Amino acid sequence: MRLRIAEITVLSPGIRKFTLEPLAGLLPAAGAGAHLVFDIPGATRVHKNAYSLIGGPQARTQYEIIVRRVEPSRGGSAWLHEHARIGDILEAKTPQNLFPLAHLAKKHLLLSAGIGITPFLAFARVMRTPFEWHHCSRAEDSAAFAALLPPGPQVTLHTSRNTLNLAAVLGTQPLGTHLYVCGPELFNETVQTMARALGWPESKIHTESFASAAGGAPFIVHLARSGQRLEVAADQTLLEAIEAAGIAAPYLCRGGACGACELPLLQGTPEHRDHVLSPEQRAANKSLMVCVSRARTPDLVLDF
Amino acid sequence: MNKSRPIYAPFQFDPSGARHLLVTDQPDPPADLNTNVQTLTARTHTADAILAFLPPHLATQTTGLRLYAIGSEAFVWDVNAIALAAGMGAGEVHLTRAGPLIRRVYCTHCQTMADDVATTITQCPGCGATLEVRDHFSRHHRAFMGVQVDAEAPGEIPAPEGFRS
Ligand code: FES
């Protein structure tokens, strides 16, 4: 699917909104929580980055995404910030929704931080069930986020001056509340750990993390079936390295959340960074999610 | 094994919960019960009293509660329905089958429910049909299906037996 950049809005020095339109016809409908994976040109290779659609009244004629320039940048967001111009054409996959609202919920509790605001902007537009939304922001971005957040007593913007009291918020939700968490890895971990400690069942905790996945040490991967040896660079994911070699590997979320990219492992020890495998499955050392996970050993051998 | 039969785990305390409520239509709760568990048993409450107590009580509760229901199939599924209506879901409600092997039977001919049926052949209190109690448990009706036995050959009625599960 090809999309043209119709508008670029600077929301803060590090945050921009992109409005995208189809070259012809209507866009595929995308539910609240859906994201788009783009092919973004880079100096040495194409980056695939996932961005949540923030929804909006013109959802069939325009998609809107918000992009933070990630430091150190993995390429995709830096290109969008520095090189993208109105009229540029981007290649994208049809939107996927791995972060839908739970229909049986009596109430939705949304906890976001930083650029994790984006899927919830789409949620808030379609919400018919009561909800409560707490968004945490660094001081320098708070004005940009304040302008994006919908008005109303159910939405609170937290900065260093009124920090979010997680235990109080998570400890007082009526039965039937579903929790959605979206933000940087540490935020997601902190919220989920606190929720579990307060007795939240897994079935009511929903999370999405787009690996702004800081890379890691480079390593080598051997693909046993095709006999290929690939180098995974420090700022590249294993999935990107496989794709760069011209091999199509399965994926959906590219964020370690859906399990679509699981590949069987023959040798080596992965550094698991996904949210899919259980501790037992990790211990079994039989597979890994190649969209986010890296290697603890110098080499990995995949049955792929 | 009949797939339409729910499978029940033996009672087990669920340490992932922050607060715990156990209700049973049996006189005694499980032995060695964790003292943090609030319990309502048949010694102090009838099953109907427990079922009436739950909806307003759950409306005041917060996420983190675990609800355990122990007893007849009819009782635990009634509790489950109340818990679902209150917004509880997977991982928050635990059902355990206990007590005599009796069933709630739904007459497929006149829709009457009969509680505490103890034998495979029973007479429907609604239409008087002689029903064979199937092993099929309907989660929708929260009861076992009862189908007329002698519909095709009147008078041919197998001997009633007790339930084995
Ligand atoms: S693509 Fe979803 S877990 Fe890797």
Q: Mind listing the pLDDT tens digit for each residue in A179-206?
A: 999 998 889 989 999 999 999 998 899 9
Total domains in the fold of chain B: 2
Question: Residue B70: inside a domain, yes or no?
Answer: yes
Question: Residue B74: inside a domain, yes or no?
Answer: yes
* Chain position carrying tokens 């069933």: B103
Q: Is A289 in the pocket of ligand 1 (CB under 6 A)?
A: yes
Cis omega before residue B15 (within 30°)?
no
CB distance A34 to A122 below 8 Å: yes
| Mean model confidence pLDDT for chain A | 88
Q: Which domain holds residue B57?
A: 19-97
Q: Is the pLDDT of residue A213 over 60?
A: no
The CA distances from residue A99 to A19, A53, B24, in Å, are: 21, 11, 38
CA dist A77 and A80 (Å) reads: 5
Q: Mind listing the pLDDT tens digit for each residue in A126-153?
A: 888 999 999 999 998 999 999 999 999 9
Q: Within this chain, do residues B72 and B121 fall inside the same structural domain, yes or no?
A: no
Q: Within this chain, do residues B73 and B122 fall inside the same structural domain, yes or no?
A: no
In the listed set B97, B122, B140, which residue is the last one of a domain according to the structure? B97
The CA distances from residue A176 to A105, A195, B127, B159, in Å, are: 6, 14, 40, 47
pLDDT score of A100: 81
Q: Mind listing the pLDDT tens digit for each residue in A44-76?
A: 777 788 889 998 666 789 999 999 887 666 567
Percent of the residues in chain A that have a pLDDT greater than 70, as a whole number: 95
> Which CATH number do you get for residue B67?
3.40.50
Q: Number of H helices and number of E strands within chain B?
A: 2, 9
Q: Within this chain, do residues B81 and B122 fall inside the same structural domain, yes or no?
A: no
Q: Is the pLDDT of residue B1 over 60?
A: no
Q: Is A261 in the pocket of ligand 1 (CB under 6 A)?
A: yes
Closest-CA residue of B relative to A168 is B62
Q: Within this chain, do residues B89 and B109 fall inside the same structural domain, yes or no?
A: no
CA dist A184 and A188 (Å) reads: 6
Give B141 to chain A, closest Cα distance, Å.
20
Q: Within this chain, do residues B28 and B83 fall inside the same structural domain, yes or no?
A: yes
Question: Residue B14: inside a domain, yes or no?
Answer: no
Q: Within this chain, do residues B91 and B39 fall inside the same structural domain, yes or no?
A: yes
Question: Residue B10: inside a domain, yes or no?
Answer: no
Q: What is the mean pLDDT of residues A25-32?
A: 85
Q: Within this chain, do residues B71 and B114 fall inside the same structural domain, yes or no?
A: no
Q: How many CB pairs under 8 A join A and B?
A: 57
Percent of the residues in chain A that have a pLDDT greater than 90, as a whole number: 53
Residue A203 has a CB neighbour count (10 Å cut-off) of 13
Question: Residue B77: inside a domain, yes or no?
Answer: yes
Q: Which atom of ligand 1 is nearest to the CA of A252?
A: 1
Please, is A208 exposed, middle or buried when counting C-beta atoms within 10 Å of its C-beta (0-12, 13-18, 19+)? buried
pLDDT score of B126: 92
CB distance A6 to A93 below 8 Å: no
pLDDT score of A38: 86
Domains of chain A (ranges, CATH numbers): 2-97 (2.40.30.10), 107-209 (3.40.50.80), 219-302 (3.10.20.30)
Give the three-state DSSP class for B4. coil
Q: What is the pTM of this model?
A: 0.78
Q: What is the mean pLDDT of residues A28-34?
A: 84
